[in-house]
Amino acid sequence: MNFFARQRLFVICLLLTGGILLAGRMNGRAEEGLTNVFVTSSFMPLEIRRVVLLPLACDESRADLADGCEKLGPVCQAELIRTKRFEVVSADAETLRISTGKSSWTGAETLPENFFTSLNQVYGCDAVVFCQLTTLHAYPPLAIGWRMKLVDSHTKKILWAADELFDAGNPETAKNAQAYQSHLQQTDVKTKTFFQRLFTYADRRTPPVADQWDILNSPRFFGRYAAASVLATLPKR
């Protein structure tokens, strides 16, 4: 590897590290003001290295929540992976139904006696993440409610739980959501601009930054902010 190649690799590493640090600081801001959170320890137990995320659950009798589950399930999965607390595997609904008797669980029900044993056998997991969409108002002002729980699949002990409602009609919530989006956009712009210059792409124009209005009018973007805020309260690794 020649000098210039090594230099490029070094700068890329610095950029990616900076992006990770910025995301960490952003998540720290996102979690401010959350009060309905339970945690047994400030740090994730060392033995919790692989978790299985169950399909997003909701009250299926409500059409608005059922539609929201389909659209926001991938958001919950992506944000859980972004925390980098552990390896995340996602349970598919059919496999979950075969192994546990139901295709979705909120964690509030009475679970089958072999529930965690079955999941351990199928996914080789150390813990289970339950995720429920409790509220969805898909038109401005947006409102999204997340209820999540992390349970040790061997001891069946609850390690972390959160139940929060995010209402964009609340000025403080709207301000935090816009700040979250602004940080994401700034990181995205800097990363794209850097790579364009580094590899001399033909188009060197700075990528456009979307209006912060978007996050207050898109259930998917607002749901991402809300999920990131809740998951930021997970015990640190």
Q: What is the dihedral of CA 13, 15, 16, 22, to 10 degrees?
A: 140
Tokens for 165? Answer: 């409602």
In order, the DSSP letters of 14-55 are HHHHHHHHHHHHHHHHHTTT---EEES-SB--TT--EEEEPP
Residue 144, SS3 per DSSP: strand
pLDDT above 50 for 136: yes
Question: Taking a C-beta distance cutoff of 8 angstroms, is the pair 165, 134 a contact?
Answer: yes
pLDDT above 80 for 29: no
pLDDT at 230: 98
Amino acid identity, position 58:
C
pLDDT at 196: 46
Residues 6 or more apart in contact with residue 161 via CB below 8 angstroms: 37, 38, 39, 148, 149, 150
pLDDT digits (tens, 9 = 90+) for 45-96: 999 999 999 999 999 888 889 889 999 999 999 999 999 999 999 999 999 9
- Domain residue extents for the chain: 20-231
Lowest average pLDDT, out of 133-137, 144-148, 183-187, goes to 183-187
For domain 20-231, the question of CATH label 3.40.50.10610 is answered with yes
pLDDT at 64: 86
